[in-house]
A and B are shown apart, each in its own frame.
Chain A
Amino acid sequence: MIRVVIFVAVFLFSVCTFARTWVVAKNSSVKSIKSAIELAAKGDTIRIMKGIYKEGNMVIQKSIVIIGIDYPVLDGENKYEIFTIAATDVSIIGLRMINTGVGSINDISAISAIEAKRLRVLNNQFENTFFGIHLANCIGSVVEDNVLHSNAEVEHQIGNGIHAWKCDSITIRNNKVSGHRDGIYFEFVTNSLVEKNFSHHNMRYGLHFMFSHNDEYRSNVFQNNGAGVAVMYTKKVKMISNRFEDNWGASSYGLLLKDIGDADIQLNHFAKNTVAVYMEGSSRCHFTQNVFSGNGWAVKMQANCDENVYSKNSFLSNTFDMATNGSLVLNTVDANYWDKYEGYDLDKDRVGDVPYHPVSLYSMVVEKMPSAVMLWRSFLVYMLDRTEKVLPSATPENLKDIHPAMRNYDYNF
């Protein structure tokens, strides 16, 4: 009896003072994750061994680390949210989470974190989840090296891959997201970094953010998403060295900017999108040293955009370089390389001596009558564009590059 008392005393002592490790396995004393979470104290680590765990919803309200060994499978049985986290300093590492429930009102997720500071979600796999990772009111959290994949067929049956709402100073790095509604979704997220992620084949947007100021997006690849990438109502965003590729469709954009201010967009590569950049109501965005290649339209700028600057970009084999819907242009286009430029450089300073007008007449025709794109490259269209170049009448006269580069900048990303 005394022995037992001592054992319990020692046990309690150790719990209180040292971080303990709990092992969850079929042949271990702790067989379920739920009981491990219950047993664990603040600062403890739970190691989940390989196996399939169907435990419904697990709520974590203490600062613990959960590590999967050889990717144990946590099955939500198409009913449950798997982890609900409401604590600081929680880590979820190396798990495989599958089959969450689907909710039309609740955002059921594999990992849902509410007011979790310093949450770390690392190296997990998500398969067939409604929402993958859902962060609300989280600060200083990191989501890294996860793979999220879902197989939705219609948009309303699926949530976002990585969803963040009202967060600050979070880092989303090196994740792969596919088959969700939006790959990465930010709303009211500030001072955060999205880096080296690969978001592709999502139903709607590869990246979607709103009201998310002072964020930085670096070296991500957004490929073949239903509607590309859309960012709205945001100030002071930096987008650097990303790739926007293969976003095809009538309302699909490599990058859609709506009401964006003071953005810095540099060194990105826009390739083979129907519309590489679409801008609406945006101001003071600086596009520098980007490459636009093989797009249907490299840039579509609505007339309500002002003070944007395009400089030192390369425009290569796009069907149309620029299109706009108005004649008043308050933006600057300068010192870009345009492969369609046919001017000369007599003083050999590598800057063309005559300005380049990136808006062709026919791009304006197609803007009004989309079917007319079928006549592109016909002799008739060739003549129309030629005539317009000699006698400009319909295209905005002051939208021009006065210092077009004679040679391609050859940016290598």
Chain B
Amino acid sequence: MMKIAKYVSYDILRNRFIALYTLFLLMVTFSMFSLDSDPGKATLSLLNIVLLVVPLVSIVFTTIHFYNSYEFIELLLAQPVSRKTIYFAEYFSISIALSTAYIIGVAIPMLFLNFSESSLYLIMAGLLLTFVFVALAFGASVATRDKAKAIGIALLFWFYFTLIYDGLILYVIYSFSDYPLDKVTLALVSLNPIDLARIIILLKLDLSALMGYTGAFYKNFFGSSLGVIYSVLFLFVWTLAPLLLAMRKFVRKDI
């Protein structure tokens, strides 16, 4: 697998789009920190960008790349390698390339401009989101042969997790506001990777407000590192579940 991933990730890293993405992230990071004298505020603004842009770029780029390398995948399939190998090689190549862009564009500048715990959390959240949305893109790509349709599904995923899902949660909270909803809300939020990534940061920046939440359950959950561990764990689930589901489909797919 690593043999293929080595060559493919090299190819993607030279892709013009990845270079643009890196440059964009670099520009955003530097402008946030130079416009704002308060590094905490800059981190917050950056958080909004990361939560919005990283999933979008990851899912769209991966989908397009998957279809552009369709013929190449065909050629690889004629070689004596298993489909799983090819599949994971593609996944790792794209993840590595996008993470590299993120590390150069956000992580490294942040470590220099504002080395703090919240920065580290933000870096981690962005990387995990990359892994999750690349996996989701594989799900979208494997689901259909039609490139336009797959990009549509990918965009829908992004839109759903960025906006629609949170709207639904808000609606549920509103409709059942007379009931204790602590655990329900937490469970609902766990079903959205973007929310999970957001909570990692929330635990760092808004712990005081989260503590206003009723119930000892929350105090334990948020007060300890349990909250972060929980979120990271669930983000891994969010990576593995679509990745493995799409793999099952890919293995049986007619190319």
Asked if A and B form a direct contact in the complex, defined as CB atoms under 8 angstroms apart, the reply is yes
Interface status of A2 (Cβ within 8 A of chain B):
no
B181 at interface (Cβ–Cβ under 8 A)? yes
With A294-B208, A319-B209, A376-B206 as contacts: A371 and B185 at CB distance below 8 Å: yes
Q: How far is the CB of B176 from chain A (nearest CB, A)?
A: 9
User: Which residues of the partner chain A approach B184 to less than 8 Å between Cβ atoms?
Assistant: 371
Report yes or no: A379 in contact with B52, Cβ–Cβ below 8 A: yes
Task: With both chains docked as a complex, state the minimum distance between the C-beta of B242 and any C-beta of chain A, in angstroms.
Answer: 21
Are the CB atoms of A377 and B201 closer together than 8 Å?
yes
Kindly list chain B residues whose C-beta atoms are within 8 Å of the C-beta of A382. 48
Q: Are A339 and B208 in contact (CB under 8 A)?
A: no
Tell me, rounded to whole Å, the shortest Cβ–Cβ distance linking A20 to chain B.
Answer: 57
CA distance A297 to B206 in the complex (A): 10
Q: A295-B208, A374-B199, A376-B206 are in contact. Are A339 and B213 (CB under 8 A)?
A: no
Contact A374 B208 (CB under 8 A): no
Chain A hits for B51, CB < 8 A: 377-379
Residue on A nearest B52 in the bound complex, by CB: A379
- What are the residues of chain B within 8 A of A275 when measuring CB–CB? 212
Tell me the residues in window 361-382 of chain A with beta carbons closer than 8 Å to chain B beta carbons.
365, 368-382
A375:B213 contact, CB within 8 angstroms: no
Q: How far is the CB of A385 from chain B (nearest CB, A)?
A: 12
* A373 to B169 alpha-carbon distance, docked (Å): 11
Within 8 A of B (CB), among A347-371: 365, 368-371
Residue B214 contacts which of A272, A370, A381 (CB distance < 8 angstroms)? A370
Cβ of A317 within 8 Å of any chain B Cβ, yes or no, is yes
Tell me if A248 is interfacial: C-beta within 8 Å of chain B.
yes
Contacts of A274 in B (CB 8 A): 208-209, 211-212
B52, B182, B198, B202: the one contacting A371 at CB < 8 Å is B182
Could you tell me if A374 and B186 are in contact, using CB atoms closer than 8 angstroms? yes
Q: Is there contact, CB below 8 Å, between A317 and B169?
A: no
Chain B minimum-CB-distance residue to A248 = B211
| B181–A371 touching, CB < 8 Å | yes
The stretch among B8-16, B67-75, B135-143, B160-168 that forms the contact with chain A is: B160-168
Known: A249-B212, A250-B212. A319 touches B206 (CB 8 A): yes
Asked whether any CB of chain B lies closer than 8 Å to the CB of A395, the reply is no
Tell me which residues across on chain A come within 8 A of B47, comparing CB atoms.
Answer: 377
Measured between beta carbons, the chain B residues less than 8 angstroms from A71 are none
Distance between Cα atoms of A383 and B170 in the complex (Å): 14
Nearest to B38 among chain A residues (CB) is A339
Q: How many residues of A contact B (CB 8 A)?
A: 34
The distance in angstroms between the C-alpha atoms of A127 and B48, with both chains bound, is 50
Whether A369 and B174, one on each chain, are in contact in the complex, defined by CB atoms closer than 8 angstroms, is yes
Find the B residue at minimum CB distance from A275.
Answer: B212
Q: Is the CB of A317 within 8 A of B40?
A: yes
B32 at the interface (CB under 8 A from A): no
Is the Cβ of B212 less than 8 Å from the Cβ of A297? yes
* Alpha-carbon distance A288/B47, docked complex (angstroms): 33
Q: Which of B38, B48, B211 lies in contact with A379, CB distance below 8 A? A: B48
Question: Chain A's nearest CB lies how many Å from the CB of B225?
Answer: 16
Chain A positions within 8 Å of B163 at CB level: 379-380, 383
With an 8 A cutoff between CB atoms, is B189 at the interface? yes
A311-324 interface code vs B (CB 8 A; 1 in, 0 out): 00000110110000
| CA distance in complex: A213, B189 (Å) | 48
User: A273 at interface (Cβ–Cβ under 8 A)?
Assistant: yes
Residues of B within 8 A of A295 (CB): 208-209
A56 cross-chain contacts in B, Cβ below 8 A: none
In the assembled complex, B41 has its CB within 8 A of some CB on chain A: yes
Q: Assess whether B211 is in contact with A374, with CB atoms less than 8 Å apart.
A: no
Q: Select the residue from A339, A375, A379, A383 with max chain B CB neighbours within 10 A.
A: A375
Whose C-beta in chain B lies nearest to the C-beta of A384? B170
Q: Which residue of B lies closest to A383 (CB)?
A: B163
Q: How far is the CA of A377 from the CA of B195 in the complex (A)?
A: 9
B79 at the binding interface (Cβ < 8 Å): no
B28: chain A residues at CB < 8 Å are: none
- B210 contacts A by Cβ under 8 Å: yes
Contact of A296 with B by CB under 8 A: yes
Instruction: Tell me how far the C-beta of B133 lies from the nearest C-beta in chain A, rounded to whole angstroms.
Output: 15
- Contact partners of B211 in chain A: CB under 8 A: 248-250, 252, 274, 296
Whether B195 pairs with A378 at a CB distance below 8 angstroms is yes
Answer whether residue B84 sits at the interface, using C-beta atoms and an 8 A cutoff: no
Answer yes or no: B104 CB below 8 A from chain A CBs. no
Q: A272 and B208: CB pair below 8 A? A: yes
List B contacts of A317 (CB < 8 A): 38, 40-41, 205
Q: In whole angstroms, how far apart are the Cα atoms of A273 and B206 in the complex?
A: 10
Within 8 A of B (CB), among A248-268: 248-250, 252
Query: Is B212 a contact of A296 with CB atoms below 8 Å?
Result: yes
Taken together as a complex, chains A and B put the C-alpha atoms of A372 and B210 apart, in Å, by: 10
A369-B174, A377-B201 are known contacts. Are A296 and B206 too (CB-CB below 8 A)? Answer: yes
Q: A273-B208, A377-B202 are in contact. Are A250 and B213 (CB under 8 A)?
A: yes
Q: Are B166 and A380 in contact (CB under 8 A)?
A: yes
Chain A residues in the interface with B (C-beta under 8 A)? 248-250, 252, 272-275, 294-297, 316-317, 319-320, 339, 365, 368-383
Q: Which 5 A-B pairs have the closest CB atoms?
A: A296-B209, A319-B209, A296-B208, A248-B211, A380-B166
Interface CB pairs A-B, < 8 A, 5: A297-B209, A297-B212, A319-B208, A375-B189, A379-B51
Query: A374-B199, A375-B169, A375-B195 provided; 17 other pairs, C-beta below 8 A?
Result: A250-B211, A294-B208, A296-B212, A297-B212, A317-B41, A319-B206, A319-B208, A371-B177, A371-B184, A373-B209, A373-B210, A374-B169, A374-B185, A376-B209, A378-B198, A380-B163, A383-B163
Interface of B toward A, CB cutoff 8 Å? 38, 40-41, 44, 47-48, 51-52, 162-163, 166-167, 169-170, 173-174, 177, 181-182, 184-186, 189, 194-195, 198-199, 201-202, 205-215, 219, 223
